[in-house]
Amino acid sequence: MAKSASVIIFLILCSGCASHQSLNIKDHKLPFWNKLSERNTNDLDMVVVHATELSDMAEAREYGERILYKEAGTGASGHYYIDRDGSIEQYVPDNRIANHTTGWNKKTLSIELINLGRYPNWYHSDHQKMQEPYTQAQIDALISLVTEFKSRYPTIKYTQGHEDLDTRIIAAENDPSKQVARKMDPGPYFPWELFLDAVDLKKETPEKPE
Ligand SMILES: [Zn+2]
């Protein structure tokens, strides 16, 4: 009796948790975040899904902190990073333009899934298979995060993978007569059907920003 009563109390106490508790996102802004250009979040139209193609969150951080654009004092990164256990870190605020997809940064939010991809032989012609499936915890966290975006920014109607927006082909590093894809993320392991059903976004590309 006591046990079932405590279960009932637990259920009552927790019935409001899901709706009241906001997502647990670790604020972990990049050192140069305030040098990235500001934007109006009313212009957001698309979520871009990426894979880091790196070993872990620490390495993703190291890459994210690198200064690649000397004049601006900034680098390349996504807005959010989701680890294999589903934990989420935010590197760049939503109202700042992150450098994550050539030509598509202005109006997009970017989410990076920690995943090996082709690491560390990205451009080797014999190494063009993505190596690691995504975890359920990652996909669950991604769906929760994008659901949160949709309620915060109703102008977001579209989603694409990095590979859909950057289709450039380059010479393989081991054999310049062979060609490899510059970007392959999130790649064939990403469960598009499940994701699109859950978040109700169109897998289409909006008009390209200036
Ligand atoms: Zn990417």
**pLDDT for position 3:** 53
- Does residue 46 fall inside a structural domain? yes
Q: How far is the CA of 57 from the centre of ligand 1 (A)?
A: 15
Pull the structure tokens for residue 133: 């499936």
- How would you classify residue 14: left for phi > 0, otherwise alpha for psi between -120 and 50, otherwise beta? alpha
How many domains is the chain built from? 1
- Does residue 207 fall inside a structural domain? no
- Does residue 125 fall inside a structural domain? yes
**pLDDT for position 84:** 98
d(CA 76, CA 133): 24
Is the pLDDT confidence value at 87 over 60?
Answer: yes
Q: How far is the CA of 20 from the centre of ligand 1 (A)?
A: 32
Residue 133 backbone dihedrals phi, psi, to 5 degrees: -70, 155
- Does residue 15 fall inside a structural domain? no
Mean pLDDT in residue range 144-169: 98
pTM of the model: 0.90
1 confidence band (pLDDT: 50, 70, 90): very low
Q: Average per-residue pLDDT in the chain?
A: 92
User: Can you point out the beta strands (E) in 52-153?
Assistant: 80-82, 88-90, 108-113
21 confidence band (pLDDT: 50, 70, 90): low
CA atoms within 13 A on the CB side of 50: 28
Q: How far is the CA of 16 from the centre of ligand 1 (A)?
A: 36
Contacts for 181-186 with beta carbons within 8 Å, 24 or more apart?
Answer: 181/128, 184/53, 184/117, 184/118, 184/128, 184/130, 185/49, 185/50, 185/51, 185/52, 185/53, 185/115, 185/117, 185/130, 185/161, 186/49, 186/50, 186/51, 186/113, 186/115, 186/134, 186/161, 186/162
Q: How far is the CA of 102 from the centre of ligand 1 (A)?
A: 10
- Does residue 6 fall inside a structural domain? no
Q: How far is the CA of 100 from the centre of ligand 1 (A)?
A: 6
Mean pLDDT in residue range 194-201: 98
- Does residue 205 fall inside a structural domain? no
Q: How far is the CA of 4 from the centre of ligand 1 (A)?
A: 49
Per-residue DSSP letter, 173: S
Q: How far is the CA of 126 from the centre of ligand 1 (A)?
A: 20
Q: How far is the CA of 167 from the centre of ligand 1 (A)?
A: 11
Domain of residue 113, CATH code: 3.40.80.10
Task: Give the residue numbers spanning the domain of 172.
Answer: 24-199
Q: What is the pLDDT of residues 99-144, one digit of tens each?
A: 999 999 999 999 999 999 999 999 999 999 999 999 999 999 999 9
**pLDDT for position 6:** 52
Mean pLDDT in residue range 14-18: 42
- Does residue 5 fall inside a structural domain? no
Contacts of 64 (CB under 8 A, 6+ apart): 30, 75, 76, 77, 78, 91
What share of the chain has pLDDT > 90, as a percent?
Answer: 88
**pLDDT for position 5:** 53
- Does residue 79 fall inside a structural domain? yes
Is the pLDDT confidence value at 16 over 70?
Answer: no
Q: Report which residue type is found at 146.
A: V
Q: How far is the CA of 181 from the centre of ligand 1 (A)?
A: 12
Q: How far is the CA of 114 from the centre of ligand 1 (A)?
A: 11
Q: What is the pLDDT of residues 42-71, one digit of tens each?
A: 999 999 999 999 999 999 999 999 999 999
